Amino acid sequence: MFDAFDHVASARRILNEQHGTILAVQGCQKLVEPGCIKSAKLSALDQLRKHSGQFTDAVVIGTGYNDRIGPAFRQAVLAITTEAASQGVDVIWITYRQIGHVRGNSTTRNKQLRKLEQNVPNLVVADWNAYSEGKEAKGWFRADRIHLLTLGANGLARFINESTSAVIARRAAASAVAGS
């Protein structure tokens, strides 16, 4: 879904309006394993490690539709949040759309994310599923109701900006309290 940023210049502009962004997206990217196509060799975890030291506050994860659910997904989330914590950043995890042919797996992943969020201090779950609900009729999605068209990519960019701003504000407040 994030690979729409490769094709929609307006979404990249929106994404960079409030926060500097490193885009490390690939179609068919997976969380901790090579992707489902040859061009998606680097997993999200590989990308996080590749760009180590370049993040200031948060990384945003918006991949994983092609990953397994259950313990493997939990382990992948923990691997990514542990790596992010070692870099001193929070992880904003964009929920999965619970729709069509991915409804069951996405529902399971989103439940796992919410449960993990309670115990992983640097994990923030951003509810893209709720934010994007009903936007199919507004031209946000391709026929599969997952992959984005221009309006949807712009909407996702705004959603990421809102989610990132909230995390940065929370980090600043925590830093101010710690400094008092």
CATH code for the domain of 123? 3.40.50.1110
Q: Pick the residue with more confidence: 123 or 64?
A: 123
Q: How far is CA 71 from CA 84, 112, 160, in A?
A: 20, 10, 27
| Residue 78 in domain | yes
Six token digits for residue 5: 């940023």
Whether residue 36 is predicted with pLDDT greater than 90 in this model: the reply is no
Which pLDDT tens digit goes with each residue over 107-123? Answer: 999 999 999 999 999 99
**Shortest CA distance to 129 belongs to which of 86, 99, 152?**
99
| Residue 148 in domain | yes
Number of structural domains (the chain) is 1
Please, which residues have CB within 8 angstroms of residue 158's CB and are 6 or more apart in sequence? 14
Q: What is the pLDDT of residue 180?
A: 67
pTM across the whole model = 0.93
| Residue 145 in domain | yes
- Please count the other Cβ atoms lying within 10 Å of the Cβ belonging to residue 103: 12
| Residue 176 in domain | no
| Residue 6 in domain | yes
Structural domain containing residue 59? 2-171
| Residue 58 in domain | yes
| Residue 144 in domain | yes
| Residue 177 in domain | no
Which pLDDT tens digit goes with each residue over 158-176? Answer: 999 999 999 999 999 988 8
Q: Kindly state the DSSP code that residue 27 receives in the 8-state scheme.
A: T
Q: What is the pLDDT of residue 28?
A: 81
Which pLDDT tens digit goes with each residue over 74-109? Answer: 999 999 999 999 999 999 999 999 999 999 999 999
